[in-house]
Amino acid sequence: MSQTINTGRRQFTLASAAAGVASVLPFWARAQAGTPKGEPIKIGVLTSMTGTGGVYGPGMLQAMRLAVDEVNAAGGASGRALQLFNEDDQTRPDAAVLAARKLVDISKVDVIAGVWSSSVALAILPITNGAGIMMLNTSGSPDLKTEDKLDLVWQYQAANDVFGKAFAQIARQRGFKNPAVMAFNNSTFVGQANYFRKAWEEGGGKVAAYVIYEPNQTTYRTELGRVLASKPDVIALSSYTPDATIILKEWYQNGQPCKFIMPGWSANENLIKALGTEATEGIIAVSNVAATDHPTFKHFDTAFRKLTGREPDVFAAECYDMIISYALAVEAAGPNADLKTINTKMRTVTNAPGTKVTGFSQGRDLLRKGEKIDYDGASSTLEFGAAGDAVPDFGVFEILGGKLVAKEVISGTI
Amino acid sequence: MDWLSIINAGINGTVLGLLLALPALAVTLVFGIARFPNVATGDYMTLGAYVAVAAQTFGGLSLAASGLFASLTVGVVSLFFYFWVFRALAKRPLVSRLIASIGVAFAVRSTITFFAGHHQYNIEAPLVRAWNFNGIRILPTDAYIAVTAIVALTLVFMLMRFTPMGRRMRAVADNPELASASGINARRVMVLLWAIVGIFCGLGGFLLGVKAVVIPELGFELLLTIFAAVILGGIGTPIGAVVGILVFGISQEIGSLYVGPAYKIVMAFLVLLCVLLLRPQGIFGRIQAAR
């Protein structure tokens, strides 16, 4: 029921859209001047500039601009310049559908990239599939894998089934014996919880308690009581930050010792700020992390810092990879290729076997020589599976003294 | 199911019920006296929570002082909307006031998100371990919340029962024409009503913020529960609202032990359904002749 018209947000969206167009103009103008020939490739960027994803959206857009800039400076993909069209999805499926319609019907984009939230990705899937265009996202709903009937969806972030498996592996590695599961009732988190249970039981052992709770409650004491009654040594807590805050507050007051494993996008600075250092001590947070040891990441990291003055997060790295891998697929498909041919080239340019490449111009030169390439990205090695999903590595963090401290890294190929 | 879990769930439901009794009473008073379901109740609560956060952050007020400040501020806001919106619509049909209150709800929430954004805030309150009586756990925060709510409710019931002003309020609720014919100043009653509504919603929102987290949907999400509880207790009867929300809270928490948390809200509405089948006018409601 939050169908309100928020002038501030509208103006912000307009301003950011204008900024997006303005930043693209120079390259486009350059394209007219001569270097890349042919009709420009229109890339629709549907990022979350406001709402929950607003923390990540601006960085994701910057990373895509950076990549577009590099491709255009190298003469474009198959001689065609890349052109960005930016819309804000407000991290809301209803706003996203309108924005996606605009990108598809009015701007007539060839691809939609930078989709952050699962609910947005699922909502716009009928639009992108209907238009026969690709959708490049960083979303994590396992449903995207099964709903992607045309193989047009490319996921650069681990889906939550893999997250669930990673949770189980981490719990086992740390010697926990009696885990319990608590999850927010939506497709993402229930998926995560189910796969945790599945992975744990496959490795031998049982899950002490399994509780799916309703959103938007004031108290979760009874639900938590159910879980704690099974005396777990660790709880895999699949929650957003607000409900996690309530649950952890009630857990701490309750006083029963127990550890927590949570997704990194919930166990963040906001959670620490809300609960203080004592109640958050020892919480294990698991996030996808960029491939910091890849040369591609090092190059991207330097360029991103120069452009923005900030450190890139994993979503920004994933967005950089979206543009580079797409541009390589366009290059591999040839100048007059249709969208379908470009789509089939995505795995060709990113998956092994092939000569490893770390940037657009290097990959293009090899492609022109007729060689097979394997782009290793800034976010992961980009090995797309049957469902079009790449899995970056998992970073395991612990909250110690109110700070997120990086511990081990777990390979994404679990 | 062992009795310890049931008692703990019962305590939890009681605390939740007492907390929500504040806005439920506000809803039932408005329905009894101003005669419309006030949809803005939830967002008045949200406003209370945000004012308390602001008072702590910018004013450096203590927990209790920020709660008091939040209650009074929302009281003033509530009076403002009475003078600006609801007074002008007093003679209009119920629906126009209902729709106007939806508008007020949106205005309040959008103003909050315009300034504070969508991310979560917290009311700074000390986190202390529960008192443990052989497995019956009582959270100190919950105890303070319950005591505050009981004190506030008692004050209003005493005001309604034992003061001349309370008598006038009840008279207007009973029959506005007769009340004004016998010389009762309805305007003054309305001002008192909206002040109480604002203060109670503000206080309820503050307590809710202490217990949970402060987000823009904080109060609005609870509106359905509150309205259902008011119907359960008997619309327009203050004591009914309090009993109704307590029954609702306790049955929801204990029910979730048996049917699983996913169905706890369903359980609460099942109780509502059963009560209304036996007593269509609600637990304390009177059957009124339609005029």
pLDDT for position A51: 72
User: Under a CB-based contact definition with an 8 Å cutoff, are residues A324 and A340 in contact?
Assistant: no
User: Under a CB-based contact definition with an 8 Å cutoff, are residues A99 and A89 in contact?
Assistant: yes
From CA B127, how far away is CA A26, in angstroms rounded? 55
Which residues of A fall within a CB distance of 8 Å from B9?
Answer: 221-222, 225
Tell me whether residues A4 and B9 touch, CB distance under 8 A.
Answer: no
Listed in sequence order, the residues at least 6 apart from A347 whose beta carbon sits closer than 8 Å to its beta carbon are: A384
pLDDT for position B279: 87
* Complex-level ipTM: 0.88
Residue of B nearest to A269 (CA): B120
Phi, psi for residue A8 in degrees, rounded to 5: -55, -45
Q: Is the dihedral of CA B257, B263, B266, B270 positive or negative?
A: negative
Residue written as tokens 């691809």?
Answer: A111
pLDDT for position B1: 62
B96: its two tokens: 């126009």
Predicted confidence (pLDDT) at residue A258 exceeds the cutoff of 90: yes
Phi, psi for residue A153 in degrees, rounded to 5: -100, 130
In percent, how much of chain A has pLDDT > 70? 91
Tell me whether residues A185 and B19 touch, CB distance under 8 A.
Answer: no
Taking residue A298's Cβ as centre, other Cβ atoms within 10 Å add up to 14
Predicted confidence (pLDDT) at residue A28 exceeds the cutoff of 50: no
Of the candidates B15, B122, B265, the beta carbon closest to that of A214 is on B265
Task: Band the pLDDT of A23: cuts 50, 70, 90.
Answer: very low
In percent, how much of chain B has pLDDT > 70? 98
Task: Band the pLDDT of A31: cuts 50, 70, 90.
Answer: very low
pLDDT for position A74: 93
Of the candidates B5, B211, B265, the beta carbon closest to that of A225 is on B5
Mean pLDDT of chain A: 88
Task: Band the pLDDT of B7: cuts 50, 70, 90.
Answer: very high
- Calculate mean pLDDT across residues B132-151: 92
User: Under a CB-based contact definition with an 8 Å cutoff, are residues A142 and A196 in contact?
Assistant: no
pLDDT for position A20: 47
Which residues of B fall within a CB distance of 8 Å from A250?
Answer: 139
- Calculate mean pLDDT across residues A68-80: 94
Predicted confidence (pLDDT) at residue A5 exceeds the cutoff of 60: no
Q: Which residues of B touch A (CB under 8 A)?
A: 5, 8-9, 12, 15-16, 19, 106, 109-110, 113-114, 118-120, 122, 127-130, 132, 137, 139-141, 208, 211-213, 215-217, 220-222, 253, 256-257, 260-262, 264-265
> Which tens digit of pLDDT belongs to each residue from B239-289?
999 999 999 999 989 988 888 888 888 888 888 898 889 888 888 887 665
The whole-angstrom distance between B263's CA and the closest CA on chain A is 8
The whole-angstrom distance between A274's CA and the closest CA on chain B is 6
Tell me whether residues B129 and A253 touch, CB distance under 8 A.
Answer: yes
Residue of A nearest to B136 (CA): A254
From CA A36, how far away is CA A27, in angstroms rounded? 10
Tell me whether residues A253 and B130 touch, CB distance under 8 A.
Answer: yes
From CA B237, how far away is CA A94, in angstroms rounded? 40
B127: its two tokens: 């986190």
Task: Band the pLDDT of A6: cuts 50, 70, 90.
Answer: very low
> Which tens digit of pLDDT belongs to each residue from A344-353?
999 999 998 8
Phi, psi for residue B126 in degrees, rounded to 5: -65, 140
pLDDT for position A297: 95
Of the candidates A6, A229, A276, the beta carbon closest to that of B5 is on A229
Task: Band the pLDDT of A185: cuts 50, 70, 90.
Answer: confident
User: Under a CB-based contact definition with an 8 Å cutoff, are residues B216 and A52 in contact?
Assistant: no
- Calculate mean pLDDT across residues B148-154: 95
pLDDT for position A4: 44
- Calculate mean pLDDT across residues B76-99: 94
Of the candidates B19, B120, B127, the beta carbon closest to that of A249 is on B127
Give the DSSP letter of residue A215. Answer: S
Residue written as tokens 């769930």?
Answer: B9
pLDDT for position B255: 87
pLDDT for position A120: 92
Mean pLDDT of chain B: 91
Long-range pairs, A244-248, Cβ under 8 A, ≥24:
A244/A271, A245/A271, A245/A274, A245/A275, A245/B120, A245/B122, A245/B212, A245/B213, A246/A217, A246/A218, A246/A219, A246/A220, A246/B211, A246/B212, A246/B213, A247/A182, A247/A220, A247/A223, A248/A275, A248/A279, A248/A280, A248/A283
- For residue B78, which of B205, B208, B237 has the smallest C-alpha distance? B205
Predicted confidence (pLDDT) at residue B233 exceeds the cutoff of 50: yes
Q: Are strands A153-155 and A111-115 parallel, antiparallel or unpaired?
A: unpaired
pLDDT for position B99: 95
Describe chain B by its helix, strand, coil percentages, rounded to 5.
75, 5, 20
Phi, psi for residue A410 in degrees, rounded to 5: -110, 135
> Which tens digit of pLDDT belongs to each residue from B28-71?
999 989 999 999 999 999 999 999 999 999 999 999 999 999 99
Kindly calculate the radius of gyration of chain B based on its CA atoms and give it in whole angstroms.
19
pLDDT for position A17: 52
pLDDT for position B221: 87
The whole-angstrom distance between B10's CA and the closest CA on chain A is 9
Of the candidates A7, A222, A270, the beta carbon closest to that of B119 is on A270
B75: its two tokens: 């009281």
pLDDT greater at residue A31 or residue A92:
A92
pTM score, whole prediction? 0.80
Task: Band the pLDDT of A402: cuts 50, 70, 90.
Answer: very high
User: Under a CB-based contact definition with an 8 Å cutoff, are residues B48 and B109 in contact?
Assistant: no
pLDDT for position A10: 52
